[in-house]
Chains A and B, each alone.
Chain A
Amino acid sequence: EIVMTQSPATLSVSPGERATLSCRASQSVGSNLAWYQQKPGQAPRVVIYAASTRATGIPARFSGSGSGTEFTLTISSLQSEDFAVYYCQQYNNWPRAFGQGTKVEIK
């Protein structure tokens, strides 16, 4: 089974700064990778799918890149509503697998 590893576990960023989150797969997942945002007490929300496609309603400051085993989620200028936990997930193989999450917190 594929193991997804996210780094860092916690990212401290000031509002307006850029945030770069990483996700690594233990074997190639092609472009079958999604990123989710989860705020406390809420269900996750898809931000990026197919590695680089923004989901409906997601602002252009969010971008995804990568393929194969290395992926990146970039938030170009952090807004207050972006502070949350972000998970990557592969959907190339069964069983589906999530990374352990990166918490983006206010510096």
Chain B
Amino acid sequence: EVRLLASGGGLVQPGGSLRLSCAASGFSFSSYAMTWVRQAPGKGLEWVSTITDTGGSTFYADSVKGRFTISRDNSKNTLFLQMNGLRAEDAAVYHCAKGSGWYIWGQGTLVTVSS
């Protein structure tokens, strides 16, 4: 069974930074691309970023390009999202997901951006 557990969310001031982690199990992590998708409270789904299986290629939404960095540690079956320069509009539940096309989702972690 695929299990994806995101962590690292919390309250941060505008302009601040946060690093999200996603612990994966139940599949061969190093063989799959991984993705972050976010959902603002009461809103729809927004694709954020994807990283290929080796980490050799990364893709970003325009809304986060230059501020967020996706990475992975295949030796620890863990996905990361470094978020810098956070804005109020970045507040959301951040889900990690298996795949680069269609996704298998994990439970998310809540990021709140407020002063």
Contact = CB atoms under 8 A, between A and B. Distances in A.
Contact of A91 (B44, B100, B106): B100
Contacts of A91: 100-102
Nearest to A35: B102
Question: Interface size bucket, A side?
Answer: 20 to 34
B45 A87 contact: yes
B59 A95 contact: yes
B11 interface: no
Contacts of A96: 35, 47, 50
A55 to B, nearest CB: 8
A23 B75 CA distance: 39
A97 B44 contact: no
B40 to A, nearest CB: 12
Interface residues of B, number: 20
Interface in B86-108: 95, 100-108
A86 to B, nearest CB: 11
Interface of B: 35, 44-47, 50, 59-62, 95, 100-108
Nearest to A97: B47
Interface string A28-40: 0000101010100
A91 B103 CA distance: 10
12 contacts: A34-B101, A34-B102, A43-B105, A43-B106, A43-B107, A46-B102, A46-B103, A49-B102, A89-B103, A91-B102, A100-B44, A101-B45
Interface of A: 32, 34, 36, 38, 43-46, 49-50, 87, 89, 91, 94-101
A72 B106 CA distance: 26
A95 B50 CA distance: 10
Given A44-B95, A46-B102, 10 more contacts: A36-B45, A36-B103, A38-B45, A45-B105, A49-B102, A89-B45, A94-B59, A95-B62, A97-B47, A98-B46
Nearest to B63: A95
A89 B104 CA distance: 13
Contacts of A100: 44
